[in-house]
Amino acid sequence: MLFRSGNAQLGSLSDFALLCKTAKSYGISIIVDVVMNHMANNGDKDQLNTSVNSSFKSSSLYHNLGQCSNWNNRSDVTQKGIGMPDLNTQTTEVQKKAITFLNQCVDAGASGFRFDAAKHIETNIGLDAGQSWSGNYWVNVLNSLHNKSNIFIYGEILQDGTVDNTSSYETFMNVSASNYGGSIRSAITSNDLSKTSDMGGINPTTSVDFVETHDTYEDGSSSSLTDLQRKMGWAIVDSRAGTTPLFFDRPTNSIGSKGESLWKDADVVAVNKFHNKMVGQNEYLRWTNNNQTMLIDRGTTGTVIVNDGSSTSINSPTNLVNGTYKNKGKSSCTLTVVNGAISGSIPANSIIVLYNTSTN
């Protein structure tokens, strides 16, 4: 249920606090996926489910304008429902309820939030400035969060039309780079890694990039990707400069299963370590081998090479300093850098992670 910490499926608020405390002891931060735009329906998209808390049953808390039918109309997108009763996020009462709930999570140990359907909550800038539906939800709610300077906030802003108002949301939070995720999947499946060059107008430093999410997996957009394809896509998104990458751990069909273990794969681990070591380093992208091989240089200290094709010899410009570099991941591969050129043999369908072992 929205705006309440704890339920029969996931546990109590005290259980959540213990989860956050235990996670932090392992260096893990908990980001809470929150649904602040709408409430559950009862089968009729405009009617509340009977389980909705009584404090949310007043009609004054909702826009009461029906369901969105024009996804190219900013007013419809923000003021009408997306399959459920749409909360009136301009009202002080709805905003206060949101602030109370979010701060309950922060006080219990949450390190940040993912706002589901964030683009369906209006802003007061960009496309919404001066409009009748303009609202101060994001200003009031986010500025009221406890420990705001130390928590991570991002929103589900799908770039699927002309009215997503992405640049405005970027002033409030990080945004999901959904179009870039589609480009990554297309590049991997078409063996043309040059398609990953453009992030589609998203600022890398205010993005959350990914190969897939729970949504793309459930709607079939990414479910056909093999583990190798997912790893190669991950190597690209995780190696880019300035971004915050998201790795989706797919569910399994086994009852009681804790999910898959691809996140433990040696290539995934090697790329994650590369990501952490290269913080602050600029990037330079190159493609070779008919665009089937991509090189991501980070400063002069590290490079990730993704080869989405057969084994190949490489002789490419690089920013790496002279030396001999051995792959940190699974594939056996040693490459040499001499006077700005990297050369050697790259195994088929491989991820090569290179950096000097003295790199901090």
Per the annotation, the verdict on 156 as an active-site residue is yes
Distance CA 96, CA 140 (A): 9
Report how far residue 270's alpha carbon sits from residue 354's, in angstroms, rounded to the nearest whole number: 9
Retrieve residue 181's tokens.
Answer: 């995720």
Q: Is 164 a catalytic residue?
A: no
Catalytic residue among 156, 170, 212, 267: 156
Pairing verdict, β 323-326 and 312-317? unpaired
In our burial notation (b when 16+ CB lie closer than 10 A, e otherwise), range 14-29 reads eebbebbeeeeeeeee
* Candidates 116, 192, 215, 283; catalytic one: 116
Burial class (CB in 10 A: 0-12, 13-18, 19+), 77: buried
Please name the residues in contact with 127: beta carbons below 8 A apart, sequence gap of 6 or more. Answer: 74, 163, 165, 168
Structure tokens at 101: 């709930």
Q: Rounded to an integer, what distance in angstroms lies between the CA atom of residue 90 and that of residue 69? A: 21
Catalytic residues: 116, 156
